[in-house]
A and B are shown apart, each in its own frame.
Chain A
Amino acid sequence: MKRTIKFLGYWTSCLLILVLTGCAMSTPQNDYTNTTMDFSAIKSVAVLPFQNLTSDDQAAERVRDSFMGMLLASEAFYVLPSGEVNRGISRAGLRTPSTPMVDEIKSISKILEVQAVITGTLREYGTVRSGSAEANLVSLSLQMMETETGTVIWSASSTRGGISVGDRLLGGGGQPMNKVTEQVVNDLLDKLFK
């Protein structure tokens, strides 16, 4: 009897450790928010062109346009129009606008009169296949830098879409790409404003 209780206790402890580590692994802490930063001081932001790591040449521009529109629609910041951002990039002489250096951020912020700059990397934008099932997938990571010092004050990433259990069982091509893009952007905005 004593041996059975000891055996049960041993297995319960193992199960508990597994459950706890499993939970810890399911929510990776990839996101960063500078807790000392006063985000209310940011009135206007410039969204620089995103770095495109996908095979679709215009995918980054599509996602950036959606992000800029949805960020403006949130009414949290005033988002500079892309034409104005482009003018700032030309005037500041940014060589790689998607990955600017600290000096370049300071320089462009003076031209555009913004308190923060957002850069992004589009990691996935396309269709994924598994067997006969296929679906659209978008993966995006963003960084916000304040322009006084050029430090990163917020960073987050999100991946949406992909093949669901329903897609595997019933077929279908998943959700339209624009819909998946909106989901990714919504997820990132939720992380920014939480």
Chain B
Amino acid sequence: MIFLINFSNNRICLLLLALLLLTGCAQLEQEKTEPLTMKGMDVAWQGPPKARLGALRCSFKTSGGSGQLTFTLQSSKAGIATIEHRGEESSWEWSAKEPGLYRLKATATDETGAVVDSGWSDEYRFEPPVGSSSLYAVLPVDNISAAKAPLKEIHQALLDALTAKGFQVLDQETLEAFMEKNRVRYTGGVSADIGKKLHDDAGVDGIFITSLETWQDSGPPKVSLITRVDLAGEWPEILWIDSVGLTGDDRPGLLGLGKIKNADELLGKGVDSLAGSFHLYLQGGYPTCRLAGDRQEMSMVNSGNKTADFFGAGIKRQHRPHFTYRSPDFDPAGRYTVAVVPFLNVEARKYAGEVVALHFVKQLSRYENLRVVEPGLVRETLLQYRMIMEAGPSLASSDILADKNILGADLVLSGKVFDYQGVQGMSKVDFSVQAFDGPKREVIWTSRSYAAGNDGVYFFDAGSVPSAHGLTTRMSKAVVDMLEE
């Protein structure tokens, strides 16, 4: 007690005590970190403002925060926000797969869990990589209908429809000379070499590739076409793909007055709707599926009613797979490069494997998180490595397709077609699908689908699907929906 009184009376001691307290507080103040703040996000164009060709360089500026920061880059299109990148880098380059108006937002999170974001940026417009003024090469029609068909007339009808819409088309003499010079025989796809030569030598920007799925002149006439546009260059990419399947009995109307008996009339309607669909793509109105990050489900941007195949509308319970398996490790929201291998034809008609594979290429291409490898490149790889798949792809063949120096496919989709009928009688389709995860070397998806055009039809053919094309469109859409849901 006496010591304490002496100590308090001593001014020097009191001063020392005060000094100690003050320095202690200062140290505490130094340990307290500055709160995490987002100072802004710099966005700059890298290359042309075109989808796939150009990119946006996004750099985030932050201050404060505790420990290592994690950044997330989100993009928003038509009000649907999705995560594009997540990591520790504070600068990213992002390119849109599909044309349209996009906004960007950066989010930073520190180790304490503090989250700040930059707010949504201004709108950035990604134009389509090709336009109305671009030059297009329209390859001759690849016949996978397993029937004789007037291919030259179909090709001409397609050229007429495209020129009527104002597209610039490479004249046929030049195209034929190019094909002769480069020995191009296969017109159902484009290899890397041909894609590059078409771009460099012929000055082509886009390549129209058309496959004739069904052709029947009479009783009733049937026409099905699958058309896609590839970006010309060393790595041809599918920009747009759509299909049309028409039969004379689609809308018979009262007393059968609506029936179409002329195949040329059907063909005219078909190529017009395909040209219209591509025009829609150039305007940015083509529907795509985009992952809504907040709901963790796929949402459609733009209406599907204007596409030539109506986006697989009218899917009923009977079109869904009868059994499915999806690996628990598979993340449907991930970004994947997909190689679709022609399906194995077990007992179906000739080329049925190619037809079903093209339907899957079409369905998968419409997802923004998936990049589907041009089937011509897949074919080129299969031939180059002499891969003959008698029972579907093995892990060894999947390894080749997944190799970063070859195709870099994260997913390899294949399957078997057991039945494909659509020319005579009621349509009937039966196939199984299998998808490999290339890097993980395991099956991530298996399903079996079979249906007939008159399944679930009881009164006056209401709700029947007369064409195998329509049935396959619905069935393949149902499979992809379940794979991505």
Instruction: Identify the A interface with B (CB < 8 A).
Output: 58, 61-62, 65-66, 68-70, 72-73, 75, 78-79, 81-87, 176, 178, 182
Task: Offer 25 A-B interface pairs, CB within 8 angstroms, sorted by A.
Answer: A65-B416, A65-B418, A65-B448, A68-B446, A69-B432, A70-B323, A72-B443, A72-B446, A73-B323, A78-B442, A78-B443, A81-B393, A81-B436, A81-B443, A82-B392, A83-B391, A83-B393, A83-B394, A83-B414, A84-B394, A86-B390, A86-B392, A178-B322, A178-B448, A178-B450
- CA A178 – CA B418 in complex, angstroms? 11
Residues A83 and B392 in contact in the complex (CB < 8 Å), given A58-B346, A72-B443: yes
- CA A12 – CA B394 in complex, angstroms? 65
Is B324's CB under 8 angstroms from A73's CB?
yes
B146 at the interface (CB under 8 A from A): no
For the A-B complex with A62-B346, A84-B394 known, give 8 more contacts whose Cβ atoms are closer than 8 Å. Answer: A65-B448, A69-B323, A72-B443, A81-B443, A83-B389, A83-B392, A83-B393, A83-B414
Q: Which of A66, A79, A85 contacts B391 (CB 8 A)?
A: A85
Identify the interface centre among B346, B391, B432, B450: most chain A CB within 10 Å of its CB. B391
Beta-carbon contacts under 8 Å, B384-422 to A: 389-397, 414, 416, 418
Is A66's CB under 8 angstroms from B346's CB?
no
Q: How large is the interface on B (under 10, 10 to 19, 20 to 34, 35 or more residues)?
A: 20 to 34
Residues of chain A within 8 A (CB-CB) of B277 are: none
Residues of chain B within 8 A (CB-CB) of A70 are: 323
Taking the closest CB of chain A, its distance from the CB of B353, in whole angstroms, is: 14
Is B325's CB under 8 angstroms from A72's CB?
yes
Chain B residue nearest in CB terms to A68: B446
Is A86's CB under 8 angstroms from B394's CB?
yes
- CA A82 – CA B390 in complex, angstroms? 9
Residues of chain A within 8 A (CB-CB) of B392 are: 81-83, 86
Is A58's CB under 8 angstroms from B323's CB?
no
B447 at the interface (CB under 8 A from A): yes
- CA A87 – CA B306 in complex, angstroms? 45
Identify the interface centre among A62, A65, A83, A86: most chain B CB within 10 Å of its CB. A83
Beta-carbon contacts under 8 Å, B320-347 to A: 322-325, 346-347
Is B396's CB under 8 angstroms from A73's CB?
no
B430 at the interface (CB under 8 A from A): yes
B224 at the interface (CB under 8 A from A): no
Chain B residue nearest in CB terms to A182: B322
Residues of chain A within 8 A (CB-CB) of B393 are: 81, 83
B434 at the interface (CB under 8 A from A): yes
Residues of chain B within 8 A (CB-CB) of A82 are: 391-392
Residues A81 and B325 in contact in the complex (CB < 8 Å), given A65-B416, A178-B450: no
Chain B residue nearest in CB terms to A79: B443
Residues of chain B within 8 A (CB-CB) of A73 are: 323-325, 446
Is A69's CB under 8 angstroms from B396's CB?
no
Residues of chain A within 8 A (CB-CB) of B346 are: 58, 61-62, 65
- CA A51 – CA B323 in complex, angstroms? 24
Would you give the 0/1 interface string for B229-255, flagging 1 where the beta carbon is closer than 8 Å to chain A? 000000000000000000000000000
Residues of chain A within 8 A (CB-CB) of B414 are: 83
- CA A87 – CA B197 in complex, angstroms? 37
Q: Which of A62, A72, A79 contacts B418 (CB 8 A)?
A: A62
Residues of chain B within 8 A (CB-CB) of A69 are: 323, 325, 432, 446-448
Is B394's CB under 8 angstroms from A87's CB?
yes
Chain A residue nearest in CB terms to B393: A83
Chain B residue nearest in CB terms to A82: B391
